[in-house]
Amino acid sequence: MKNITLLSAAGLSLLLLYSCGEEKKETAPAPETPTETFGLQKQKMSSEVRLPAELQGFRQTDIYAKVSSFVKDLKVDIGSQVKAGQLLIVLEAPEISSQLAAAESRLHSAEAVYTASNATYNRVLETSKVEGTISKNDLDVSLSRKSSDYAQLQAAKAAYKEVQVMQSYLQIRAPFNGVISARNVNTGAYVGPAGAGSTAPLLTIQDQQKLRLAVSVPEMYTGYLGDNDAIQFKVIPLPNETFKAKIARRSGALDQRLRSERVEMDVINTDKKLLPGMVAEVILPLNAKDSTFVVPKTAVVSSSERTYVVTVDGDKLHRTGIVKGREYGDNIEIYSDSLKMNQKLVKAASEEMRNGDPVIK
């Protein structure tokens, strides 16, 4: 029993020594990693942004009927190439022909009446030159009748011309060179400016030799754009081709709903590879006009309170608030009135770094 007690005491002592060694091993502090810093520098950052855009016909218009009528002859169809002034549709409205005949008859009547009153006035005027033959009142009455008949003649001419213009609307012609991209009527269909025949355009014509590429540029990128800047774009049907264009027009104002500026480019499309309505991906270059502070993304901390970088002031750390700019690759633009050239910043900043913490060397 004595031997067993001695062995148990020795085993207990060894177990306590081992436990103390393990405890000391676990609580030994890990070596601290030195704080890596870098000097703040300015540079002109060049980046790009990819935005969705849409190709449209440079000129596109829907064609409607000006007068109530029926389609008599349809001379084009979808895909037809047309020239400016080419006859597209002939409409028929018998009542307009009747109105034109009536207006022409009234015009001839007014011409005859004016011719007679003018001749009468000239005779009265000639006779009045002999003193005492024609009274002053008769001369005035003759002149006023002539003037009234002349006014009636001008009104008849205007009414006749108006009906002629209405009749000319029965022949619909192409406003410019282009392609018929839509047709919504057939021969015999009723069309007009109101009612069931006005719900859809008769035809849609597009100028596809030149296209308009429209893109909405977010507010934060508008300051990097310049007139005639070259851009590139791609379309889904031709993934291996990159097309080029130049900025031609800018709206000069932001859309109140999207907070973006509409920018348009003209695209020459003589080979007709591109079609109006295609969705494009525009590669918009963003070239800075002035040098700005550029730092690694790891140097910027975005917390729930603010965005900041950690600067080195002597041997202490300090949080400095900044405003983020563009990001490109592993770098980001930052703006702050508190930062200076060559100022030391922590390269891998974190929220655990607080004001007054020592710099680990």
For the stretch 33-91, pLDDT in tens is 788 889 998 887 777 888 999 999 899 999 999 988 999 999 999 999 999 999 999 99
Which of 333, 321, 318, 282 has the alpha carbon at shortest distance from 53?
A: 282
Beta carbons of 325 and 286 less than 8 angstroms apart: no
> Distance between the two ends of the chain, CA-based, in angstroms?
61
Domain boundaries for CATH 1.10.287 within the chain? 94-168
pLDDT score of 263 more than 60 = yes
Q: How far is CA 284 from CA 180, 215, 263, in A?
A: 32, 10, 11
Amino acid at 32: E
More confident residue, 133 or 190: 190
Share above pLDDT 90 across residues of the chain, in percent, rounded to a whole number = 47
| Dist CA 35 CA 21 (whole Å) | 32
Q: Supply the pLDDT for residue 175.
A: 94
Mean pLDDT score, 2-26: 46
Kindly state the DSSP code that residue 257 receives in the 8-state scheme.
Answer: T
| Confidence at 6, pLDDT banded by 50, 70, 90 | very low
Q: Supply the pLDDT for residue 65.
A: 92
pLDDT score of 181 more than 70 = yes
| Dist CA 264 CA 247 (whole Å) | 6
What tokens appear for 141 in the block?
């009455």
| Dist CA 300 CA 332 (whole Å) | 9
Mean pLDDT score, 316-337: 88
| Confidence at 204, pLDDT banded by 50, 70, 90 | very high
Beta carbons of 267 and 274 less than 8 angstroms apart: yes
How many CB atoms neighbour CB 224 within 10 A? 19
Q: Supply the pLDDT for residue 16.
A: 46
What tokens appear for 359 in the block?
């710099």
Q: Supply the pLDDT for residue 156.
A: 94
Mean pLDDT score, 243-269: 90
Q: Is residue 292 packed enough to be buried (19+ CB in 10 Å), middle (13-18) or exposed (0-12)?
A: middle
Please name the residues in contact with 13: beta carbons below 8 A apart, sequence gap of 6 or more.
none
Q: Supply the pLDDT for residue 226.
A: 80
Please state which of the ranges 147-156, 200-209, 284-293, 343-352 shows the lowest mean pLDDT: 284-293
Mean pLDDT score, 226-250: 90
| Dist CA 227 CA 231 (whole Å) | 11
Which CATH number does 94-168 carry? 1.10.287
pLDDT score of 28 more than 50 = no
Question: Which H helix or E strand runs over 191?
Answer: strand 190-191
Q: Provide the total of helices (H) and of strands (E) in the chain, helices listed first.
A: 3, 21
Q: Supply the pLDDT for residue 20.
A: 47
| Confidence at 308, pLDDT banded by 50, 70, 90 | very high
Task: Provide the greatest CA pair distance for the chain.
Answer: 178
CATH 3.40.50.300 for domain 51-58+208-287, yes or no, is no
Mean pLDDT score, 304-330: 88
What tokens appear for 75 in the block?
């001379």
CATH of 291-346, one of 1.10.300.10, 3.30.470.20, 2.30.22.10, 2.40.420.20: 2.40.420.20
Count of CA atoms in the C-beta half-sphere (13 A) of 107 = 16
pTM above 0.75, yes or no: no
Q: Supply the pLDDT for residue 202.
A: 93
| Dist CA 171 CA 87 (whole Å) | 7
* DSSP 3-state of 225: coil
Kindly state the DSSP code that residue 287 receives in the 8-state scheme.
Answer: E
The average confidence (pLDDT) of the chain is 85
More confident residue, 186 or 314: 186
